[in-house]
Amino acid sequence: MRAKTIGFAIADEDRPLLEDLVAEYGGGNRSEFLRYALKKIARDRLAERMSRLQQEAREDMGGKVYTTEETQALIKKVLAS
């Protein structure tokens, strides 16, 4: 992996928290912690989007819960049209 050093600033009062998180999730390595944090935040963002889509779908369906068979029938109907 090719890496490039970048700089960023944090407030003095955030430094202890950063050091604690780096120790916990990065094994003391800030770069490793940042890589971990980026992946985790990206996963969390995707999970939030999926949750919103599920909620929108529930609202669109009027709260109805479809069985597997009903879902498959709807998919076939959409694909056939």
On the question of pLDDT at 38 being above 90, the answer is yes
Residue 69 domain-assigned?
A: yes
- For the chain, the DSSP string reads -----------GGGHHHHHHHHHHHHTT-HHHHHHHHHHHHHHHHHHHHHHHHHHHHHHHTTTPPPPHHHHHHHHHHHHH-
Domain membership of residue 31 (yes or no) is: yes
In a domain, 45, yes or no: yes
Encoding tokens for residue 23? Answer: 């120790």
Name the pTM for this structure.
Answer: 0.69
57: domain range?
A: 12-80
pLDDT digits (tens, 9 = 90+) for 12-37: 999 999 999 999 999 999 999 999 99
Asked, for residue 6, whether it belongs to a domain, the answer is no
Q: Is residue 3 part of a domain?
A: no
| pLDDT value for 61 | 84
Contact predicate 32/26, CB 8 Å: yes
Look at the chain and report how many structural domains it folds into.
1
